[in-house]
Amino acid sequence: MAISKNSIKFIQSLRIKKFRQKYNKFIVEGDKMVGEILMQEDTAIDFLYATDSWIKTHDLANKISDDKIVKISSGELERISTLKTPNQVLAILDIPSYEIDSVLIKTEINLFLDDIQDPGNLGTILRIADWFGIRQVICSPGTVDVYNPKVIQSTMGAFLRVNTPVATLESIINANDHMPVFGAVMDGENIFKIDRKNEGLIVIGNEGKGISPENYPFLTKKISIPATAQSGAESLNAAVATGIICAFWKN
């Protein structure tokens, strides 16, 4: 089964958010991440586009039907890939519908991302959450789309394991009375001296503006990562700060 011009145009359109939303599809690329998807019981792969050498070295029987596998040349892969150096295989999947897991809100620590804009930051934060066993990362409506190809690539497969619903902080608070909400800010309490909670939310603000003014009233405690006296840095990258916070919280 060869790839058609219409298929190429369709796949290229999925680089843009409005078309991902229109078709409810997204792209996953690379041997590692596609391999992880194929290992799941329900692969949910619409189509798999791969080079002949990749197909020959992977046992796809009982994982995906033949009519969903499209053998393509390296040149064709370059046309549909979002990567500078295409990696042998690309899959098209349905965008899953994630809802907030209220049990996780009540029993575990969760992250809330307040208008994170950089795809690399979001992907890295999901990877950090996956590493430290934080199973739910809630994104504000203004946060970059989780299914942006750059986000997916940056997660290194974490998007498969972390629940990523979209909601406002206000709606979460309204549904969960007396929930601890920790906000990462510049003038907060030293994170290494606070009393950690095993449940609730840690709010990570926008890269340039921090936590939104409308979300400030919902913070029950403001926390900060202290710099040394010798530091000349103005602030930490959002993903770096998240990594430090998660390492402290989960160890």
Helix 238-249 to helix 119-131 angle (10° resolution) is: 10
User: In this predicted structure, what is the pLDDT of residue 84?
Assistant: 87
User: In this predicted structure, what is the pLDDT of residue 40?
Assistant: 82
Q: Give CA–CA dist 161/155, Å, rounded.
A: 10
Average pLDDT for consecutive 10-residue bins of the chain (251 residues)? 87 97 96 90 85 92 88 93 89 94 95 97 98 98 97 95 97 94 95 92 96 96 89 87 96 83
User: In this predicted structure, what is the pLDDT of residue 43?
Assistant: 65
User: In this predicted structure, what is the pLDDT of residue 3?
Assistant: 85
**What are the residues facing 48 on neighbouring strands?**
69, 91
Q: Give CA–CA dist 45/3, Å, rounded.
A: 16
User: In this predicted structure, what is the pLDDT of residue 111?
Assistant: 98
Q: What is the pTM of this model?
A: 0.93
User: In this predicted structure, what is the pLDDT of residue 110?
Assistant: 98
69-71 β-sheet, strand order: 25-29, 89-94, 45-50, 69-71
User: In this predicted structure, what is the pLDDT of residue 228?
Assistant: 83
User: In this predicted structure, what is the pLDDT of residue 231?
Assistant: 80
